[in-house]
Structure 1
């Protein structure tokens, strides 16, 4: 029958609209994202799809005729079936899915911020340790050769045991620093890696995603004041002649309470923004504390880097002057300068890389 075909087409169109926005899969997404998107799909499915309705009963119909005290027409069986679609439901359903996406992005940004807070002052240390390790790996072979040469001179009586012990202690200091560097790198390798983006960017993304969640929630509250429904189907009165047993109707309604919703939604949005800043146990407060600590360390390391650079310049100048002299005492002092410069180069490599990494991580925007 024609009405059955029409009903099937309308139902199919509504189901197609409901399934058009379904994601391909959540296998690679965090569990929280799969959860909120699944809930969003479940809630939006009944809003995006049409309602199918049917009824059967008895209605007064038939040939209209007046009889004193009698009803209009006579009891006639009535069968009605159709489809109803709410276009505001389409908007609300899509808004629910947008809110789920915003909650997912909020979770990603929040997770990155929490990982950075847990890593704390270790931020930037991995790259700085790698820079220090490269300097030490290049310096230790030369230092070992200096120690071996001095041992030979002690055996030949051209150097004292005290001089050998002093050089040995300095070399042991470099080797101990290399060992501590390797051990610290292994410890950091087992921890979650920090965000590759500046902290200010993650914080800005978190606040923006949280704001989008509230914006979508507010739009859903406002949309609930409207109803725009299209209703149509098959309506048959049994044993009553009908030219076209079909019906269609468009209904629009508006709740006047919507006039007060914009100001209330604005207060809710501003209150949510302030809540993020005021929550003493929230991530914003934790990030603020971490930023203060990192900025203090960043300033101190910048000052120390300047001091080390000046000292290295002075020692390098002394070393160039001593290389032209060949006395035994000058060689002992030159060996001392070589090892001291190796230690300072390792410290400079650490400071320069760590200062740069902290600056990149902190970004320009203060939270």
Structure 2
């Protein structure tokens, strides 16, 4: 009966370990996560399961025949049983939690690096889409203006120089549309992280790294304790025993643990500072990217205000020219239409880009 219970405990622990090793979903986990989880399961397996022991030897045993007389003579002794370290249970679960924390940190760091890598192109996709929308709406009207001017040249109502000047401006709009389409195709091939502020990625990475240190500190604290439960079969051969069983609980505490809290606190703070000070670390990359993006954000906000003023001015001029029908007025109106198309495209690009940059930058400083 006793052995059946022991084997049942072992079977349950083994089933739990096997279940923990199964992937949570059909999606394949990253290789690093598989590595740290495998190492954690391997290290925790020997801590979660009991030790099976057996001793065979010779001891002095028997009945004492009088004062000062040795206790019996050499007697064979057989001891077997199970030993379980209750602190090992805590440490084994802690190792698995640390492995999960390391996997979480890896995922957060990978997402942050992907966001940093995409940093120079942040907001470009939405800005290019806004520019393309404006150009698609304006190019047909511009093509019609060019076609109308070409007819006027044939009939002598306009000069070739005027036609060439309009063609140059039209070519500029076509080139801008071509460049916009090419950039959108390039961005479509790049990995696209979730649209979140950079401060969110950075905060998740810091929190995950702090959790790793917290789990490591817990394992260091647990190493000061020993709580062992030991029991089993103990028989002295050829010696009468009523119950050849034994049980023992051992508890010990290392006084060095009294100095651990301050040391763990220094380690945690040092790890945080190390993460920030590493010149090749992601925190420094984020800091450099934020400086560049904030400078670009401020510059583009200024340019957007300037372009908006120009667009308003040109729209007002076009309204005033609607009632004038002279040839020179029409030529100037055609110029204004093309120039307004270019400025509206730039305005749409700047407005979308400034908005996306502001969302990506967020409020937190690195």
- Same fold at TM > 0.5: yes
Aligned counterpart, 1:263? 262
Go from structure 1 to structure 2 and tell me whether the alpha carbon gap of 1:185 and 1:309 turns closer, same or farther (over 3 Å shift).
same
Query: Could you tell me which residue of structure 1 aligns to residue 75 of structure 2?
Result: 76
Structure-1 separation of matches of 2:13 and 2:56: 24
Tell which deviates more after alignment, 76-85 or 336-345.
76-85
2: distance between equivalents of 1:19 and 1:111? Answer: 28
Measured after TM superposition, the shift of residue 203 of structure 1 is 0.7
1:141 maps onto 2:140 in alignment: yes
Q: What are the residue-to-residue correspondences of 1:151-166 with 2, within 5 Å?
A: 151-166=150-165
Deviates more, 1:241-250 or 1:279-288: 241-250
The answer to whether 1:56 aligns with 2:50 is no
Cα distance in 1 for residues equivalent to 2:172 and 2:36: 55
Match runs of 1:88-99 below 5 Å: 88-99=87-98
TM-score normalised by the chain length of structure 1? 0.93
C-alpha RMSD of the superposition:
2.0
Q: Helix, strand or coil: the match of 2:325?
A: coil
- CA distance in 2 between partners of 1:86 and 1:19 (Å): 21
Q: Structure 2: how far apart are the matches of 1:344 and 1:142?
A: 15
Q: Is the Cα contact below 8 Å between 2:21 and 2:38 reproduced in 1?
A: no
- The match for 1:351 is 350
Structure-2 residue corresponding to 1:105 = 104
Alpha-carbon separation, structure 1, partners of 2:246 and 2:121: 71
Deviates further, 154-163 or 15-24: 15-24
- Offset, 1:38: 1.3
1:239 aligned counterpart, secondary structure: coil
Q: Is the 8 A contact 1:133 1:182 kept in 2?
A: yes
1:168 maps to which residue? Answer: 167
Q: Deviations over 1:58-88 (max 9, x none)?
A: 23234x1416886422333222221111111
Whole-angstrom CA distance in 1 between matches of 2:2 and 2:248: 16
Given that 1:14 and 1:49 are in contact with CA atoms closer than 8 Å, whether structure 2 keeps it comes out as yes
Given the superposition, is the C-alpha separation of residues 49 and 231 from structure 1 closer, same or farther in structure 2, using an over 3 Å criterion? same
Question: Any conservation in 1 of the 2:23–2:29 contact (CA below 8 Å)?
Answer: no
Task: Provide the C-alpha distance between the structure 2 equivalents of 1:331 and 1:318, rounded to a whole number of angstroms.
Answer: 12
**Would you say the 8 A contact 1:14–1:50 is kept in 2?**
no
CA distance in 2, matches of 1:68, 1:254: 38
Tell me the secondary structure at the aligned position of residue 267 of structure 1.
Answer: helix
Q: Displacement, 1:143?
A: 1.0
Check whether the contact 1:80–1:236 (CA below 8 A) recurs between aligned residues: yes
Q: Give the CA deviation at 1:202.
A: 0.8
Aligned residue in 2 for 1:213: 212
The residue matched to 1:290 in structure 2 has which SS? Answer: helix
SS of 1:244's equivalent in the other structure is: coil
TM-score (norm 2): 0.94
* Other structure's SS at 1:236 match: strand
Whether the 8 Å CA contact 1:225–1:257 is kept in 2: the answer is yes
Aligned to 1:227, the other structure's residue is in SS state strand
Deviates more, 1:96-105 or 1:173-182: 96-105
Q: Distance in 2 between matches of 1:90 and 1:17?
A: 13
The range that moved more, 302-311 or 149-158, is: 149-158
Distance 1:108 1:10, change over 3 A: closer
User: Residue 33 of structure 1 corresponds to which residue in structure 2?
Assistant: 33
**Can you list the C-alpha shifts for 1:133-159, whole angstroms capped at 9, x where unaligned?**
121112111111111111112112222
SS at match of 1:72: coil
Higher alpha-carbon deviation: 252-261 or 121-130: 121-130
* Structure 1 residues 257 and 19: alpha-carbon distance in aligned structure 2, compared to 1, 3 A threshold: farther
Q: Would you say 1:125 and 2:131 are equivalent positions? A: no
Aligned residue runs from structure 1 range 217-232, under 5 A: 217-232=216-231
Task: Please list every run of 5 or more consecutive structure 1 residues that lacks an aligned counterpart in the other structure.
Answer: none
Q: Structure 2 vs 1, CA of residues 164 and 294 (structure 1 numbering), >3 Å: closer, same or farther? A: same
Distance 2:194 2:328 in 1: 52
Structure 2 residues without counterparts, runs of 5 or longer? none
